[in-house]
């Protein structure tokens, strides 16, 4: 952050907070009001209220911090490219990789790797070319834009729900129905702001469709598709119905449930060091040709190993 001091001299009468906004200080009105309340705005050397009416001849001194434009550092990191042309690039993200730079993860992200390989366009700041994201420990398909027009077109498909994303996961327990819809609103967890929760408070509509692929008694292999794309949606929804994603530390997937054999639980946890969730399929309208295209990514090694283990014990 860059610290800035500005000295202003108004020429007409109006509210202090409104004047600051019109004077070109690039902050929201609520943030400007916060500056005033915290004493970072002085009128003739004294603190003032947001409702103060400024007059011609007054000196207004403003101290605030402005975000310095972030530059993504290109890094030579191996990535799995499934498709690329002049407008888009489709990646099979490995588990453990953050999608784009964020506090605590400014390097080593997928965007850092892509900047070494190609140019991304659209988006802003730490998210150039980013259309949608996957959690760090979720593997699978992501599309990035290499042109501004492509970013606008793909973002519109996300907004209008025309981009289709299908996932595969292993969930604890034996889901009662062969297929169903989890319709439960999601918002920030009231106690842990890094987590999401099913809640009626400050929440957004969230719908997840699921279908059973195969049952293994205390674990179910399922296919899922998103009608909405909320943060941690699949993980929270499956925990909400009592069937958390196997291996999910944040949402109950690493706690042994009463019906799971102790030795089997230990073996499964040794196979899955992260949540058993994979973005398997991505269908979109190509921004240049307009044709509908589908990309698929095979299960990563750890989920393949889990599937093999479950099949082996099923035949015993």
Structure confidence by residue, pLDDT tens digits, 188-202 = 898 887 899 999 988
State how far the Cα of 107 lies from the Cα of 200, in Å rounded to an integer: 36
Q: What is the CA radius of gyration of the chain?
A: 25
Confidence class of residue 121 from pLDDT cuts 50, 70 and 90? very high
Average pLDDT on 157-165 reads: 94
Residues 6+ apart with CB under 8 A from 180: 209, 210
Alpha helices in the chain (DSSP H): 16-22, 29-37, 110-117, 148-159, 233-240, 262-271, 301-314
- CATH architecture, domain 2-66: Roll (3.10)
What 3-state class would DSSP assign to 6?
A: strand
Q: Is the pLDDT of residue 143 over 80?
A: yes
State how far the Cα of 274 lies from the Cα of 271, in Å rounded to an integer: 9
Quick one: pLDDT at residue 118? 95
Percent of the chain predicted with pLDDT > 70: 96
Quick one: pLDDT at residue 50? 86
DSSP code of 107? Answer: S
Confidence class of residue 102 from pLDDT cuts 50, 70 and 90? confident
E strand map for 107-242:
139-145, 164-172, 179-183, 186-188, 196-198, 207-215, 219-226
Catalytic residues: 135
Task: Kindly state which CATH superfamily the domain 162-286+311-316 is placed in.
Answer: Pseudouridine synthase (3.30.2350.10)
211/24: higher pLDDT? 211
Instruction: Count the Cβ atoms, other than its own, within 10 Å of residue 229.
Output: 15
Average pLDDT on 146-164 reads: 94
Quick one: pLDDT at residue 1? 41
Quick one: pLDDT at residue 4? 63
CATH number of 69-160: 3.30.2350.10
Q: Is the pLDDT of residue 2 over 60?
A: no
- pTM beyond 0.85: the answer is no
Instruction: Count the Cβ atoms, other than its own, within 10 Å of residue 269.
Output: 14
Quick one: pLDDT at residue 66? 67
pLDDT averaged over every residue in the chain: 92
38/173: higher pLDDT? 173
| Tens-digit pLDDT profile for residues 218-231 | 999 999 999 999 99
In degrees, rounded to 5, the angle at the alpha carbon of residue 212 between the alpha carbons of residues 206 and 218 is 105
The answer to whether 227 and 207 are in contact (CB under 8 A) is yes
Quick one: pLDDT at residue 290? 95
Instruction: Report CA torsion sign: 72, 78, 84, 86.
Output: positive
The answer to whether 245 and 167 are in contact (CB under 8 A) is no
Confidence class of residue 71 from pLDDT cuts 50, 70 and 90? confident
Percent of the chain predicted with pLDDT > 90: 70
Domain ranges of the chain: 2-66, 69-160, 162-286+311-316
Q: Is the pLDDT of residue 3 over 70?
A: no
- Matching fold, domains 2-66 and 162-286+311-316: no
């Amino acid at each position: 952050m860059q610290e800035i001091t500005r000295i202003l001299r108004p020429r007409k009468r109006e509210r202090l907070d409104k004047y600051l906004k019109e004077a070109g200080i690039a902050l929201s009105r609520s943030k400007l009001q916060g500056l005033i309340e915290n004493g970072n705005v002085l009128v003739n050397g004294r603190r003032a209220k947001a409702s103060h009416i400024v007059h011609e001849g007054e000196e207004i001194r403003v101290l605030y911090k402005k975000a310095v434009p972030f530059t993504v550092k290109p890094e030579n990191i191996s990535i799995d490219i499934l498709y690329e042309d002049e407008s888009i690039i489709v990646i099979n993200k490995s588990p453990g990789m953050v999608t784009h730079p964020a506090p605590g993860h400014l390097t080593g992200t997928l965007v850092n790797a892509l900047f070494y390989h190609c140019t991304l366009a659209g988006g802003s700041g730490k998210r150039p070319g980013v259309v949608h994201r996957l959690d760090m420990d979720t593997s699978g398909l992501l599309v990035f834009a290499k042109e501004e027009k492509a970013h606008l077109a793909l973002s519109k498909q996300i907004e209008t729900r025309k981009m289709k994303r299908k996932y595969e996961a292993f969930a604890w327990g034996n889901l009662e129905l062969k297929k169903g819809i989890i319709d439960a609103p999601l918002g920030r967890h009231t106690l842990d702001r890094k987590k999401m929760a099913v809640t009626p408070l400050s929440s957004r509509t969230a719908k997840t469709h699921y279908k059973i692929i195969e049952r293994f008694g205390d674990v179910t292999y399922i296919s899922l598709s998103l009608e909405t794309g909320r943060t941690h949606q699949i993980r929270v929804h499956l925990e909400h119905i009592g069937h958390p994603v196997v291996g999910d530390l944040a949402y109950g997937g690493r706690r042994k449930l009463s019906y799971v054999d102790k030795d089997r639980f230990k073996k499964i946890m040794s196979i899955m060091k992260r949540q058993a969730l994979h973005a398997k399929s991505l269908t979109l309208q190509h921004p240049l040709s307009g044709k509908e295209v589908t990309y698929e990514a095979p299960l990563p090694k750890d989920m393949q190993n889990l599937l093999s283990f479950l099949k082996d014990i099923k035949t015993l």
